Amino acid sequence: MKLQILGTGCAKCNALAMATEKAAQMLGLPYELEKVTDLQRIMSFGVMMTPALVVDGKVKVSGKVPSVDELKKLLA
Amino acid sequence: MNPLPQRQVATAGTAEKPADPGQPVVPRPFAARKPEWQKYLLWGVPGVVIWWLVYRNLAPVSAWFTYSLFGLAKGSHLGAAMEFFIFESPKVLMLLTLVVFGVGIVRSFFTPERTRRILSGKRETTGNVLAALLGIVTPFCSCSAVPLFIGFVTTGVPLGVTFSFLVSAPMVNEVALVLLFGLFGWKVAALYLSTGLIIAIVSGWVIGRLKMERHVEEWVFKTQTGSGVEEEAHDWPARIRLGWEAVKDIVGRVWLYVLIGIGVGAGIHGYVPENFMASIMGKGAWWSVPLAVVIGVPMYSNAAGIIPIVQALLGKGAALGTVLAFMMSVIALSLPEAIILRKVLKPRLIATFFGVVALGIMLVGYLFNWIMS
């Protein structure tokens, strides 16, 4: 599973990356996490609020940091 | 008016159609949602009643605390400051909680994606008005100003319309309006709301007229903007949860600023002599409005910290227009925002943007000083 965190390096972006990683580990999913900080690449997903989470090319979360439980539901 | 018992009967009884053999029995969504509704009703109604009772009795309670419990003398500096603090802090925080909750629910109906769709391809004027109005209800954080800007201008929202949104979204927000309402009354809150909207509409329109598209960094228009996040369908329990999350997020973030602001305000209230500000920020001093804006623009504070201070200044003889101009320039324009926007805008457009908005704020300042005299 390919996980991408979109954000220009704000505190919330790191929080989202950590929560996502934790959720994926708890589910025991094989995953590959990438932090996307380049604005043009962020915009290619059409995200207007950072941070955002992209799962296998689909934008799942934008503009907030959900709880680990919510992220588990999104990833499962 | 409670439809729940009926549903309970429907799920508990045998009236349901027999499920297909082999198909797992899926609980009906309404039945699954029922306990949540009961929970909201059970906590929500008494919660609002208690809120109201406490709110109504804050004034006598704070007076009692100050003069009876602490034994401070009426009319003393410390007494005045203390009463101000004990009265205003819970009042403002309570109002803030209630309004942020309400706005959180309203915002669950609006996303930047939806706002963009509404504004895309709109003509100027109509677009400017709509953008300023949507700026109030669309969730916005200045940290996302750049992706939002690109998302707007690359999908057919005119530059001037985008600026109307970018001015209105930070300036006219629920935190500012609650504080103004709580500390100054509804008239000043309404004045702030309407003049803030007018500044957003007019400055966006002016920037559109100036045809400054070439002062946007070239790569912005070459950016391929994707379709964005999938729209979530919210039901009412989800909206209530979002309202509650907004309370935790916003009130959790600003409560300290509110208390510090009210603390400084209380100090001014108790110790600065009456009419002290009249000579510096009064109506008579014509230069006070531009000075307030010049000082306010580079300052970066949120509404929560600045408004209680401003309220205390007003009580000491500062003119309303001057104070309003100071507040607007602190909230709407800031140095960090200029630096963030530099990624997408060339210096000339940033300067024009700040110049036009600052000019609008000054005009509002003079207008109110003139009306109120």
- What's the pLDDT tens digit per position in B47-98? 888 888 888 888 888 888 888 887 777 778 888 888 888 888 888 899 889 8
B contacts of A62 (beta carbons < 8 Å):
228-229
Strand order in the sheet with A32-36: A32-36, A2-6, A52-55, A58-62
- The interface predicted TM-score (ipTM) is 0.83
The whole-angstrom distance between A34's CA and the closest CA on chain B is 18
Which whole number is the average pLDDT over B160-170?
A: 92
* Selected catalytic residue, list A3, A5, A13, A71: A13
Give the pLDDT of residue B232.
67
**Selected residues 148-187 of chain B with any CB under 8 Å from a CB in chain A:** 148, 150-152, 154
The whole-angstrom distance between A23's CA and the closest CA on chain B is 20
pLDDT in tens, B318-333: 888 888 898 889 888 8
Residue partners of B368: CB distance under 8 A and separation at least 6:
B191, B319, B320, B321, B324
**Chain A / chain B CB contacts < 8 angstroms:** 70
Which whole number is the average pLDDT over B281-289?
A: 77
* Selected catalytic residue, list A1, A2, A8, A10: A10
A contacts of B139 (beta carbons < 8 Å):
49, 63
Which among A42, A52, A63 has the least Cβ separation from residue B139?
A: A63
Give the pLDDT of residue A57.
86
Give the pLDDT of residue B127.
93
Rounded-to-integer distance, Cα B373 and Cα B322, Å: 13
- Over its C-alpha atoms, chain B yields an Rg (Å, rounded) of 25
Give the pLDDT of residue B83.
84
pLDDT in tens, B9-46: 333 334 444 444 444 444 445 445 556 677 777 787 88
> Is the separation of the CB atoms in B156 and B121 below 8 Å?
yes
Q: CA-nearest residue of chain B to A60? A: B229
Q: CA-nearest residue of chain A to B112? A: A48
A10 is catalytic: yes
Give the pLDDT of residue B36.
67
Q: pTM of the predicted model, to two decimals?
A: 0.79
pLDDT in tens, A46-71: 888 888 999 988 888 888 888 888 88
